[in-house]
Structure 1
Amino acid sequence: MLKLLAHRLVGRFGRRYGYDVTYMDEMIEEDFAGFRRFAKLAGLSSYSYGLPPGPLFAAKFIATPAAGCGPCVDLVIRMAEEAGASRAALAAIARRGGPADPDMRLAADFAEAVVTNGADLPELLEAVEARFGRRGRTGLAVAIATAQFYPMVKRGMGHARDCAMLPPEFRPARAA
């Protein structure tokens, strides 16, 4: 009975966002207790730590493709739009050189530095804390980590697909 409910809830999520939830359905069947623990992460990954949607989703948007799953990035885009973040603003973040909201750019640069362990991470940590406070810094760190969690699980289960499936406006500009 609980498994059936879980399948229905997962299916509803998939239909809402146009997202393939096959890997979650497999988890439900393979180890329901494990899936229940997996599902608890949704509460953490959707918690904003008081951050506005723009910076929060900018960080998630940068962190997710680093984990290598185009459909997961598309999911982040859809969730960002639903939360009130602009699709155009996220596209500007994706192109890396285009004009973008300064708070979103800071969050995106921070996410990039965290994901790559960039040399500018110490300065970005200070800038993020100065702009968003310690709570916001923690929120961005959690957003970055949870944005990579789902694609990693999906890939490990053999369900990840290539990021080339992103809409053109979200593909980084190529160097000439």
Structure 2
Amino acid sequence: MIRYLLNKTLLSMKKRYDYDVRYMQDILQTDVKTFLKFMGFQTMSAHSGNLPAAPLFAARIRTILWDDCGPCTQLIVNMALEARVSPETVRAIIDKDLSQLPEDVALVTEFTDLVLAHNPEADDLREKILALWGKEGLISIGYAISSTRVYPALKYTLGYGSACSRIQIPDQSLPSAPLAEPAPASDKT
């Protein structure tokens, strides 16, 4: 019965966001306990703390662009639009057009990229984030960055990450490709 109810939730998500939930259904059908552990990431990724929607989605969108080439990115874009982040802001976050973003959104956009690149220049921006939103805001950004990376990694691991697509924003279509170059395969001969 619980498997049936959880699958109904997944089908609702599929319909709401036009998102392929097969990888989650695969986990659910394999083992309910394992699926419930996966749901812990849902709780973590939904955390917003005291952050407004636009900075929160700046962290999520910039993160997903590092690891995904379409479907997960589109899901987060759709969620940002649903949270009333304007299409223009979403586009500027994707394009990293900092001059078109409010100062707080530009700050999180830049900070996220520096964190993902393990760049020590993130330290200066971290202080600005702490001044704006305190530790709670910084933790919310940390949750957004770390939990967002789970989904594409899991999809690719399970064999569901091969679909690439253009990102759709109202009246616009953008190409999508991961920002980070994959590490070269090690040659162990």
Q: Structure 2-normalised TM-score?
A: 0.85
CA distance in 2, matches of 1:162, 1:63: 18
Structure 2 counterpart of 1:160:
161
SS of alignment partner, residue 40 of structure 1: helix
Q: Which has the higher helix share?
A: 1
SS of alignment partner, residue 100 of structure 2: coil
Structure 2 counterpart of 1:114:
115
Q: Is the Cα contact below 8 Å between 1:70 and 1:162 reproduced in 2? A: yes
Q: Which runs of 5+ in 1 are unaligned?
A: none
> What percent of counterpart residues are identical?
28
Q: Is the Cα contact below 8 Å between 1:69 and 1:151 reproduced in 2? A: no
SS of alignment partner, residue 114 of structure 2: helix
Detail structure 1 runs of 4+ shifted over 2 Å in the superposition: 161-172
CA distance in 2, matches of 1:126, 1:133: 9
Q: Which runs of 5+ in 2 are unaligned?
A: 178-189
SS of alignment partner, residue 27 of structure 2: helix
Q: Is the Cα contact below 8 Å between 1:91 and 1:170 reproduced in 2? A: no
Q: Structure 1-normalised TM-score?
A: 0.90
Task: Quote the offset at 1:73 in angstroms.
Answer: 0.7
Q: Is the Cα contact below 8 Å between 1:61 and 1:77 reproduced in 2? A: yes
CA distance in 2, matches of 1:70, 1:63: 13
Q: Is the Cα contact below 8 Å between 1:95 and 1:170 reproduced in 2? A: no
- 1:12-34 deviation per Cα after TM superposition (whole angstroms, max 9, x unaligned): 11111110000011001112110
- 1:59-100 deviation per Cα after TM superposition (whole angstroms, max 9, x unaligned): 000001212241111111111111121121011121123511
Structure 2 counterpart of 1:93:
93
Within 5 Å, which residues of 2 pair with 1:4-83? 4-83=4-83
Counterpart residue identity of residue 127, structure 1: K
SS of alignment partner, residue 132 of structure 2: helix
Q: Provide the aligned length of Structure 1 versus Structure 2.
A: 172
CA distance in 1, matches of 2:113, 2:13: 28
CA distance in 2, matches of 1:143, 1:107: 11
- Indicate the larger mover: 10-19 or 35-44: 35-44
CA distance in 2, matches of 1:88, 1:158: 33
- Indicate the larger mover: 162-171 or 97-106: 162-171
Task: Quote the offset at 1:124 in angstroms.
Answer: 1.4
Structure 2 counterpart of 1:3:
3
Task: Quote the offset at 1:153 in angstroms.
Answer: 0.7
- Indicate the larger mover: 60-69 or 159-168: 159-168
CA distance in 1, matches of 2:88, 2:176: 12
